[in-house]
Amino acid sequence: MADFLVLSLKKYVEERFAGPLKSNERITLSLDDIRRMDRELSAKILEEPISFIPLVEDELNVKFSFVGSFGEYQHTPSTITSNFLGKMVKVEGIITSLSNIKPKLKKSVHEQHNAFYSKEYRDATTLTAFPLTNTVVPQTLQNEVLNFEYGFSTYIDTQAVTIQEMPENTKPGAMPRSMNVILYDDLTDSLKPGDRVVLAGIYKTYCYNNTNFPNYLPTALIVNHVENKNIKQIFEERFKKVTCERTNEYTTQLNENGNISNQMGDTNRHEQIPCSNFPDGESTVTSENVLEYVAPFIFISPQIKKAILLQMIGSENDVCRRSINLLLLGDPSTAKSQILRFVINTMNAISTSGKGSTGVGLTASIVSDKNERRLEAGAMVLADNSIICIDEFDKINYNDSVVLHEVMEQQSISINKAGIHVTLNARAAVLAAANPVYGNFVDDALEKQVKIPESLLSRFDLIFLVIDDGSFDSQIADQVLRNHSSSSDLQDDRVFDLRKFIFECKKYKPRMRKESAQFIIDYYVELRRTKTRFPATPRLLDSLIRLSNANARFRKSNTIDEVDVKEAINMVEHCYTIPKGSLFKRMKLDKHGTEMSVDVENSRNVVAGEASNATSLIKEIISGYREENPDSSFLSLNDVAARCELPLEEISRILTELDAEDIIMFKGETIIFLN
């Protein structure tokens, strides 16, 4: 049977590729084309690839890549099972880790007394129909070790990769599954962390040097074809798949009602109905009512909903970054986390928490594994060309938040550690939610209640204050009760319609008109001369351009008109302009003056006095404790917090300053006394 399959595949290759083939050339074969010519051959390629494909590759001195429809042999890392061991499969996922490229010995050449010997090596990860070999160095009959000739030996490049299930394919509450992947020869160095790929290859198992045999068998996918896919392509394929499913359900329902069988006559003609015709006729989402589909179960400002929608649509330009960053800063129980959850479910975004995230966890890290360093992607890299939702953004450690500066502005991550120098794409839009320092907003200056560095705040295009002042209690109550009476199927339909609307908007690439550009310039210059709630930096100019561009795509327009600029200005004014009678005023130095507002100067004097009093209080607590416990050499942070009413973050800040002045040693949550 194997000889027949070898002849069939060899015949197909010779007919498909006329003329001589280059040595070690990788040629792509379509399973769909093979299936039309020889259905049995295509089935054997998927079921028994190892029995004959390596023989044809050796005879023709080429390498095969297989593309096309894999049917039931197309899986994700979580759906593939032991039933597919030894079979040709296609796996879809996201690259999370990859190793360095290393040479693998394919054929060794040895010399002894002017006589040469050779030995081929075949391990469990080698695709071959021949028996596997051992790794013992050849010896003579007198047990003399042969001299290894490095220059005459044959090697092949190999690279180990880890592929993880995509966030959109992971079941709710489940851990994303991963699997090992091995790349050979010309396929090495074709991937990087964060790439969304579809890999075709043979799923194999190996058990060398495994003490857990037979309870545990390590497996790997030996790849022969790599296809890079961005999030837009994946969304388009999933959209078409769901659309076709809905079309089939629609035609089946009509067939059961007897409305379509009489007209068509033949049920096989149902396949001729275009999948795209059905949803186009049933779409109810327009630019006028689309905000009703954005987090419909949440009662919140329409400005915030519009900003969330523009972030999901994104901007399209080649000059500055395309992603729109948003920050929701507000009181607890104001649906900030629910908005993040809606974006995660709608756009398959990556979610993380500020308290549970580190700098390397957000960006990338170098991991040592068996005397080898591997590059592993963080959340920002995995969210490339998508959205990352960060809850409790204000809880991120300051040292960890510094790494976000490059990511949020340059849309890339530079790694220079352990001899590895690489730049990874992190073109992700950031949607963050944070709380004020005191938990709730109080009648105090805003700059005392927001402890996020201004260098980080300036990288957000829009910063919304969400305040729970009791103005909309009845509307919120009505919305909550309405949510409990609505159907989940209706919510799924709304999400599907919203995804389709966003996908259609992403097709447009609007260009800026001269009149619109001048309008943006005039407003920006005027805004810089006024007092704003948050610092109006030159980055705000790019924010106006991005918001105008996104609004033009929202209108499905090819040009950025004055109406788009006005909409962007309204959002910026909502976030930056200080309304009359506002309790939260944040002044800045006037551009044309040297004096600051009297209120601001007095406020800063009060803040400085309070800081000095808090430092003195902490010093008194430490001194009193040492007098009460002369034999003790340390004090815990919780003991200090129990003796005063200062916030824990404020106590940590003061102890850090005292540590810098060599008054104490502050490590973790322990205060060590110095003599």
End of a domain among 487, 508, 529?
508
End of a domain among 508, 537, 562?
508
The reply to whether 65 and 87 lie within a common domain is no
Q: How many domains does the chain have?
A: 4
Rounded Cα distance between 605 and 557, Å, is 52
End of a domain among 177, 202, 229?
229
Computed over every residue of the chain, the mean pLDDT equals 78
Task: Give the pLDDT confidence of 459-511 residue by residue, as tens digits.
Answer: 899 989 888 877 777 888 887 887 776 655 556 677 888 888 888 888 889 99
pLDDT grade, residue 10 (50/70/90)?
confident
425 in any annotated domain? yes
Q: Does residue 592 register a pLDDT over 50?
A: no
pLDDT grade, residue 437 (50/70/90)?
confident
Q: Does residue 599 register a pLDDT over 70?
A: no
117 in any annotated domain? yes
The reply to whether 78 and 56 lie within a common domain is no
Nearest CA to 540 among 555, 525, 554? 525
The CATH number for 136's domain is: 2.40.50.140
The reply to whether 31 and 147 lie within a common domain is no
Q: Does residue 134 register a pLDDT over 50?
A: yes
| This model's pTM is above 0.75 | no
The reply to whether 26 and 115 lie within a common domain is no
Nearest CA to 17 among 55, 62, 52? 62
For 646-660, what is the mean pLDDT?
82
The reply to whether 59 and 199 lie within a common domain is no
Structure tokens at 64: 């095969």
| Residue corresponding to tokens 């590729």 | 17
432 in any annotated domain? yes
Rounded Cα distance between 186 and 159, Å, is 11
The CATH number for 55's domain is: 3.30.1640.10
The CATH number for 363's domain is: 3.40.50.300
The reply to whether 355 and 469 lie within a common domain is yes
589 in any annotated domain? no
93 in any annotated domain? yes
For 407-413, what is the mean pLDDT?
85
The reply to whether 402 and 459 lie within a common domain is yes
The β-bridge partners of 404 are: none
**In the prediction, which pLDDT does 604 show?**
40
**In the prediction, which pLDDT does 625 show?**
83
* Poorest-pLDDT segment among 12-16, 431-435, 561-565: 12-16
pLDDT grade, residue 1 (50/70/90)?
low
Q: Does residue 333 register a pLDDT over 60?
A: yes
The CATH number for 637's domain is: 1.10.10.10
Most confident listed range (147-161, 388-402, 471-485): 147-161
The reply to whether 412 and 310 lie within a common domain is yes
Task: Give the pLDDT confidence of 76-117 residue by residue, as tens digits.
Answer: 898 898 899 989 999 998 888 888 888 888 888 888 878 888
The reply to whether 188 and 224 lie within a common domain is yes
Neighbours of 159 (CB within 10 A): 21
**In the prediction, which pLDDT does 458 show?**
86
625 in any annotated domain? yes
pLDDT grade, residue 547 (50/70/90)?
very high
Task: Give the pLDDT confidence of 261-275 residue by residue, as tens digits.
Answer: 344 344 333 333 344
The reply to whether 340 and 377 lie within a common domain is yes
> Which residues contact residue 626 at a Cβ distance below 8 angstroms, ignoring those fewer than 6 apart?
632, 673
The reply to whether 444 and 390 lie within a common domain is yes
Nearest CA to 412 among 385, 452, 374? 385
Structural domain harbouring 30: 1-69
> Which residues contact residue 332 at a Cβ distance below 8 angstroms, ignoring those fewer than 6 apart?
435, 439, 440, 468
310 in any annotated domain? yes
318 in any annotated domain? yes
Structure tokens at 90: 């296609």
The reply to whether 399 and 459 lie within a common domain is yes
Ranges of beta strands (E only) in 271-391 are 326-330, 350-353, 364-368, 373-377, 387-391
